[in-house]
């Protein structure tokens, strides 16, 4: 497998630090408003990246932070007259609902910033002790000039940056020094060795990843807009605190999402939240639309492009439906078996080569559509055997698993047994998420209620 590394700006052979175990971190949302379709593009992309790594035999731990304390949250809370903590919890919950509706369910753990204040303070203390940070009357700042590699991810030089910077806060040594701790008296605030306050934005990510992954790990992902200054700041913090390089082996970034050729913004009136999208369109259609463009490339959203994605998705579902019909009356063996196996083996091999080449989903989908074209043409004159049809169906099942899209037609209604099974799966999955968040009391209550219904759950 080859992965494009933003740091080296080239594709590199993928070699995790611990053979088949992969540590993946992606920057999560700041929960002051509903997530938008630009966020969705990034999180769908990394959901598929995790799925494919697991398909290839890697064990992936996917960690995502939740920024639930930030000036944006506080300002929004003041604006609408709501407690900042309640506001953050409200939009965190809405974010996770949105992700589930888009099939983005591969994150193993969501780490809230407010649950890791101790780790944040500890990392700031280390940076001060090592001479990379200093205290002022306004807070604690990272001294950019002390980290000689600053700018290596974005290919920017500190001296060039400082030409265009204005030092608004005169207590700072350099105009680009960023806050690790902000001294404040307006709640929410936490006690610290430097007085009451709250953490800066950049420090939460490195404190969280150090807690769960250590000072070095395999993949860090996010949108292209986060390279500078956010990811640059993360590198400076972590490599200064630990003395180890590199902090991350592979930096992966998704391209920008535009709307009808323009940058998405509220001022232009083209700002689309995931909730706005899902009121009109199916989540799997949007997911397919996202995967039709390479994750690193810019993507242009429009009603027309989404409509085209829906038609393409329908083509795949039609061939799957056709396969299911043909299997009913197919013979066990057939003289055309070698012909169909040849088509299938070539397409399968090409698809996985595309995915091994920096998760190239658009190239992979083009191969799938060529296969569909060839199958439709062949089915008119050749009768495949049942075993061959099963092999072809298995390939489309693998695609469903990797891409996170159900290519089988959704039934219009469920039997009572199917509905009961799906509802039970939903309850068990929700309980597991509660356990991952260490909400033991509520998860135990669900287990006990299920036990009352003669449904036994064991946690192993």
- We report the CATH number of the domain holding residue 283 as 1.10.730.10
Percent of the chain with pLDDT over 90: 77
pLDDT value of residue 443:
86
Render pLDDT for 244-286 as a digit per residue (tens, 0 to 9): 999 999 999 999 999 999 988 877 888 999 999 999 999 999 9
Q: Is residue 457 one of the residues assigned to a domain?
A: no
pLDDT value of residue 424:
85
Position 78 pLDDT exceeds 90: yes
> Residue 41 belongs to a domain with what CATH number?
3.40.50.620
Position 228 pLDDT exceeds 60: yes
Based on the fold, state whether residues 71 and 142 are members of the same structural domain.
yes
Q: Is residue 265 one of the residues assigned to a domain?
A: no
Based on the fold, state whether residues 157 and 249 are members of the same structural domain.
yes
Position 410 pLDDT exceeds 60: no
Based on the fold, state whether residues 236 and 302 are members of the same structural domain.
no
Based on the fold, state whether residues 60 and 175 are members of the same structural domain.
yes
pLDDT value of residue 279:
94
Q: Is residue 376 one of the residues assigned to a domain?
A: yes
pTM equals 0.87
What is the band of 67 on the pLDDT scale with cuts at 50, 70, 90? very high
CB-based contacts of 460, cutoff 8 Å, min separation 6: none
The average pLDDT across 292-306 equals 97
Of 365, 381, 403, the residue at which a domain comes to its end is 403
Position 194 pLDDT exceeds 60: yes
pLDDT value of residue 412:
46
pLDDT value of residue 163:
59
Of 254, 289, 317, the residue at which a domain comes to its end is 254
Position 418 pLDDT exceeds 60: no
Q: Is residue 217 one of the residues assigned to a domain?
A: yes
Q: Is residue 210 one of the residues assigned to a domain?
A: yes
Q: Which range is least confidently modeled, 162-176, 187-201, 238-252, 267-281?
A: 162-176
Q: Which domain holds residue 427?
A: 416-452
What is the band of 166 on the pLDDT scale with cuts at 50, 70, 90? low
3-class secondary structure for the chain?
A: CEEEECCCCEEEECCCCECCEEEEEECCCECCCCCEHHHHHHHHHHHHHHHHHHHCCCEEEEEEEEECCCHHHHHHHHHHCCCHHHHHHHHHHHHHHHHHHCCCCCCCEEEEHHHHHHHHHHHHHHHHHCCCEEECCCEEEECHHHCCCCCCCCCCCHHHHHHCCCCCCCCCCCCCCCEEEEECCCCCCECCCCCCEEECHHHHHHHHHHHHHCCCEEEEEEEHHHHHHHHHHHHHHHHHHHCCCCCEEEEEEECCEEECCEECCCCCCCCCEHHHHHHHCCHHHHHHHHHCCCCCCCEEECHHHHHHHHHHHHHHHHHHHHHHHHHHHCCCCCCCHHHHHHHHHHHHHHHHHHHHECCCHHHHHHHHHHHHHHHHHHHCCCCCCHHHHHHHHHHHHHHHHHHCCCCCCCCCCCCHHHHHHHHHHHHHHHHHHHHHCCCHHHHHHHHHHHHHCCCCCCCC
What is the band of 411 on the pLDDT scale with cuts at 50, 70, 90? very low
pLDDT value of residue 164:
63
Based on the fold, state whether residues 289 and 312 are members of the same structural domain.
yes
What is the band of 117 on the pLDDT scale with cuts at 50, 70, 90? very high
Render pLDDT for 37-54 as a digit per residue (tens, 0 to 9): 999 999 999 999 999 999
pLDDT value of residue 447:
86
Percent of the chain with pLDDT over 70: 97
Position 457 pLDDT exceeds 90: no
pLDDT value of residue 218:
98
Q: Is residue 214 one of the residues assigned to a domain?
A: yes
Based on the fold, state whether residues 81 and 12 are members of the same structural domain.
yes
Highest mean pLDDT among 23-37, 252-266, 405-419: 23-37
Position 405 pLDDT exceeds 70: yes
What is the band of 416 on the pLDDT scale with cuts at 50, 70, 90? low
Q: Is residue 271 one of the residues assigned to a domain?
A: no
Based on the fold, state whether residues 31 and 116 are members of the same structural domain.
yes
The average pLDDT across 202-209 equals 98
Based on the fold, state whether residues 113 and 147 are members of the same structural domain.
yes
Four-residue CA torsion sign, 372, 376, 382, 386: positive
Domains in the chain: how many in total?
3
Position 459 pLDDT exceeds 90: no
pLDDT value of residue 214:
98
pLDDT value of residue 415:
56
DSSP per residue, 182-221: EE--SSS-B--TT-SEEE-HHHHHHHHHHHHH-S-EEEEE
Based on the fold, state whether residues 374 and 420 are members of the same structural domain.
no
Instruction: Find where tokens 């888009």 sit.
Output: 102
Q: Is residue 458 one of the residues assigned to a domain?
A: no
Based on the fold, state whether residues 249 and 100 are members of the same structural domain.
yes
Based on the fold, state whether residues 173 and 311 are members of the same structural domain.
no
Cα–Cα distance, 279 to 222 (Å, whole number): 26
The average pLDDT across 381-387 equals 86
Give the mean pLDDT of the chain. Answer: 93
Based on the fold, state whether residues 433 and 304 are members of the same structural domain.
no
The average pLDDT across 218-230 equals 97
Position 413 pLDDT exceeds 60: no
């Amino acid at each position: 497998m080859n992965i494009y590394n933003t740091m080296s700006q080239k594709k590199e052979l993928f070699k995790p630090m611990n053979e088949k175990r992969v540590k993946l971190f992606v920057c999560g949302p700041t929960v002051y408003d509903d997530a938008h379709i630009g966020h969705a593009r990034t999180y769908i992309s990394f959901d598929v990246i995790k799925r494919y790594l697991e398909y290839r035999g890697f064990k992936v731990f996917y960690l995502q932070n939740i920024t639930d304390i930030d000036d944006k949250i506080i300002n929004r809370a003041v604006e609408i007259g709501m407690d900042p903590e309640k506001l953050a919890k409200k939009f965190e919950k809405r974010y996770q609902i949105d992700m589930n509706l888009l099939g983005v369910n591969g994150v193993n753990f969501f780490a809230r910033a407010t649950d890791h204040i101790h780790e944040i303070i500890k990392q700031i203390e280390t940076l001060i002790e090592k001479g990379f940070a200093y205290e002022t009357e306004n807070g604690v700042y990272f001294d950019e000039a002390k980290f000689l590699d600053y700018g290596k991810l974005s290919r920017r030089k500190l001296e060039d940056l400082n030409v265009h910077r204005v030092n608004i806060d005169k207590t700072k040594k350099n105009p680009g020094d960023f806050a690790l701790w902000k001294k404040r008296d307006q709640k929410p605030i936490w006690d610290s060795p430097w007085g009451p306050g709250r953490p800066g934005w950049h420090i939460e990510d490195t404190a969280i990843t150090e807690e769960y992954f250590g000072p070095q790990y395999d993949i860090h992902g996010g949108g292209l807009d986060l390279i500078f200054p956010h990811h640059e700041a993360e590198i400076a913090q972590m490599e200064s605190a630990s003395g180890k390089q590199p902090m991350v082996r592979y930096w992966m970034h998704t391209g920008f999402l535009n709307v009808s050729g323009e940058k998405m913004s509220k001022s232009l009136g083209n700002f689309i939240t995931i909730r706005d999208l899902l009121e009109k369109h199916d989540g799997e259609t949007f997911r397919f639309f996202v995967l039709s463009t390479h994750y690193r490339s810019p993507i242009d959203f429009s009603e027309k492009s989404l409509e085209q994605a829906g038609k393409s998705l329908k083509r795949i579902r039609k061939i799957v439906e056709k396969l299911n019909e043909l299997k009913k009356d197919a013979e066990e063996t057939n003289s055309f078996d070698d012909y169909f196996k040849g088509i299938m083996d070539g397409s399968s091999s090409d698809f996985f080569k595309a995915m091994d080449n920096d998760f190239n989903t658009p190239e992979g989908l083009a191969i799938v559509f060529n296969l569909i074209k060839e199958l439709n043409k062949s089915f008119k004159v050749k009768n495949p055997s049942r075993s061959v049809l099963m092999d072809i169906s298995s390939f489309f099942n693998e695609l469903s698993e990797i891409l996170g899209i159900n290519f089988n037609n959704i039934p219009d209604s469920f039997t009572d047994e199917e509905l009961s099974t799906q509802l039970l799966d939903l309850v068990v999955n929700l309980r597991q998420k509660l356990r991952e968040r260490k909400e033991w009391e509520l998860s135990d209550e669900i287990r006990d209620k299920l036990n009352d219904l003669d449904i036994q759950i064991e946690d192993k």
